[in-house]
Amino acid sequence: MTRVLVIDDEDAIRQMIVYTLKKDGFNAFGTPSSVEGIELARKQLPDLIVCDVRMELVNGYQMLTAIRNDPITASIPFILITADQSRSGMRQGMERGADDYLGKPFTSAELIGAVNARLQKHRALFQQAE
């Protein structure tokens, strides 16, 4: 079963994302802490990470950088979510290696579509490498 780590310090949003993913057949789990999210990513090696940009201590951009700089987690597809839909914010995420960017609010269909697209692309890249 495909594992998805959801990191968002807003409980209602994190729980909605986890619920939506589980309803669609994913093994989704979450944390409100970006610091714990980094540890979970290293220990659980999820197939994909969905992470909010605006969080305390370590924001989503810093989280993405930490994930990309660790050889163990570097290849995990990473989707940033944020209410800030500015062009500069999106560029910053993409330049740090985000695989996708979802603006809040988003629909369940948009979330599932983004997750499935990133997983499909990731699988295709790894099949080509073999």
Q: What is the pLDDT of residues 37-69, one digit of tens each?
A: 999 999 999 999 999 999 888 899 999 999 999
Q: What is the band of 86 on the pLDDT scale with cuts at 50, 70, 90?
A: low
Residue 50, judged by CB atoms within 10 A of its CB (0-12, 13-18, 19+), counts as buried
3-state class (DSSP) for residue 34: helix
Q: Measured in whole angstroms, how far is the alpha carbon of residue 102 from the centre of its chain?
A: 10
User: What pLDDT is recorded for position 13?
Assistant: 95
* Distance of alpha carbon 9 from alpha carbon 1, whole angstroms: 25
Q: Residue 51 in contact with residue 78, Cβ under 8 Å?
A: yes
> What average pLDDT is seen over the chain?
91
